[in-house]
Structure 1
């Protein structure tokens, strides 16, 4: 029996050495042990209220740091004719010997005419008439006035079918994607989204992207819907895409979840990140060892560490047991592709060992 008890103590001693105790997360000391190495491969930066503002000035990683959008600006209610539009002309002339109208109907329905790249349409007996940049009513009045010498009593009816330059493309992320004509110069992006059936409810954290004249603008859908000043007016040739915000950070260790966490708003602080992952595990986590792992591009490295990191790989550390650490975490911005790691408390490992010892001692008593 004594031999069996000695075996129990030997197993317990091995457990206390920490060689084989199962744990769900790393200890802070294990992750940061390289900090004191002669040639460390990453730098460790404790975050506090004294340096959090300076750290905010370091280059942003994972995205450009904010969304660029065009605020709303009203335009005239009437549309203007552009190259590529199709103009329909009907000429009414009551003269018996009209050059244009049919004798029986007194009307002349001219073939649809596409506005040329020079902004003109061809009208019989008038030749090329410039209509580009004019409203439909102004173009109608111009053509009717020009016809007076050959048809004094003629009346002109003009309608326009929008072409590419007077249409916008609703590409994806809505119920009815397609090409939509602009009814006027005051047609807003919310009106377009409504015409397209609204944003697809299956999209998580949707973004609205506007491509115009080679430039790309983006805004979160919830902000677009909430702020009237963001309801920008569309222009011919615009392309609108609705898609999910694909920014994320990784939650690891003794947190409420271990997964990819999507950004639910423009910016997320370290304290908010802990909330999004379900907090830290009360029985396991070390609140003094919350870490944020980040990788910077080589061009961001600075020798003095003032306007950038001194190494590409940086581990930011937070002590959530102090007010200083909590306020620092409240103001520290998480970047896309960061890894948020809640390290495990050493007391958890000790508890596991002592639990193991208790089990072994109980087993020994049972053997007796």
Structure 2
């Protein structure tokens, strides 16, 4: 390993991880997480609905005036049922024409229609009820007991309220993740983080889609450990020490606790030469679990999706064997990632 690190033309970067350099390593770009948009914070909206195109309103016009243009002598109420709000934001009211009500609350729309009727029916009174259309609803897809489209009960409808209306997150999902699709942007967080932090209870907007799925992020476990396999993340923040535990621990008869490796590949755009980021795409982080410093560093180091955690065997015959082992492992990792995708 030292031979590769000191080579004039190294093929990968070797970083022994200690408590001293953990702040630097922790500041390097994270890898393996597809979403870079974070998650919107919470806010408060209006506790009333706002009428949108595609909504339907039921209008009842009451007029007791004799010789009314709207009502008859025997029926003092004229119902207009299921009137759809058009693309121009208006509804048609007889003897009045187009009345623009998009963007209004139901009470504001009722007042607007009533004021438009004053010239032909000064004593008329209006009742209005709203049935929301798809443009005034949000969708909850998968991961709950009752997914579907949900009309927004108000403009103060939030993610946790939507999930509750859908019956709650299924308990069988592994580390469930919540995605919020808004226009062309996808936000993502874990369900644990959403439930633990009220600041993440994002305010929904009409047309939002919320998707709940189990987490399929994984790392590859190889070498002298309890298992060699893809290991799925049970939570978002997973330390190197926890990863070793999930691998089944180090095998006493084979593993070298001074040679636990984490192999990671960075995109070219993440590379830097000033230490603020890796200088090469392929990086091998090394841990010495026989020292207190190494143990604490392993507890602080975060495993990223698509990492490979390799428990080397003891004793290591030569540096050339390690170089061969690491090169082969990077190839195995790519194959595993391709199969997983």
Q: Does 1:324 align with 2:308?
A: no
Alignment correspondent of 2:31: 61
Q: CA deviation at 1:177?
A: 1.8
Number of residue pairs matched?
A: 317
Q: Are the aligned partners of 2:35 and 2:186 in contact in 1 as well (CA < 8 Å)?
A: no
Q: Are the aligned partners of 1:66 and 1:266 in contact in 2 as well (CA < 8 Å)?
A: no
Q: Does 1:260 align with 2:243?
A: no
Report the TM-score, using the length of structure 2 for normalisation: 0.85
Match for 1:337 among 306, 309, 315? Answer: 306
Match for 1:130 among 100, 118, 136? Answer: 100
Alignment correspondent of 2:89: 119
Q: CA deviation at 1:144?
A: 1.6
Q: Does 1:164 align with 2:129?
A: no
The alignment's C-alpha RMSD in Å is: 2.4
Q: CA deviation at 1:149?
A: 2.7
The CA deviation string for residues 98-139 of structure 1, in whole angstroms up to 9 with x for no partner, is 211233322212242221232211111111112112111111
Separation (CA, whole Å) in 2 of partners of 1:218 and 1:166: 23
Q: Are the aligned partners of 1:67 and 1:219 in contact in 2 as well (CA < 8 Å)?
A: no
Report the TM-score, using the length of structure 1 for normalisation: 0.79
Cα distance, 1:247–1:198 mapped onto 2, change above 3 Å: same
Alignment correspondent of 1:313: 282
Alignment correspondent of 2:219: 249
Counterpart of 2:138 in 1: which secondary structure? strand
The CA deviation string for residues 218-246 of structure 1, in whole angstroms up to 9 with x for no partner, is 11111222222222221111111111222
Structure 1 unaligned residues grouped into runs of 5+ = 1-28, 348-368
Q: Does 1:283 align with 2:253?
A: yes
The CA deviation string for residues 189-243 of structure 1, in whole angstroms up to 9 with x for no partner, is 1221122222223321111111113221111111222222222221111111111
Q: CA deviation at 1:141?
A: 1.8
Q: What is the correspondence of 1:131-210 to structure 2 with a 5 Å cutoff?
A: 131-210=101-180
Alignment correspondent of 1:79: 49
Separation (CA, whole Å) in 2 of partners of 1:47 and 1:194: 43
Cα distance, 1:65–1:241 mapped onto 2, change above 3 Å: closer
Q: CA deviation at 1:299?
A: 3.2
Structure 2 unaligned residues grouped into runs of 5+ = 317-341
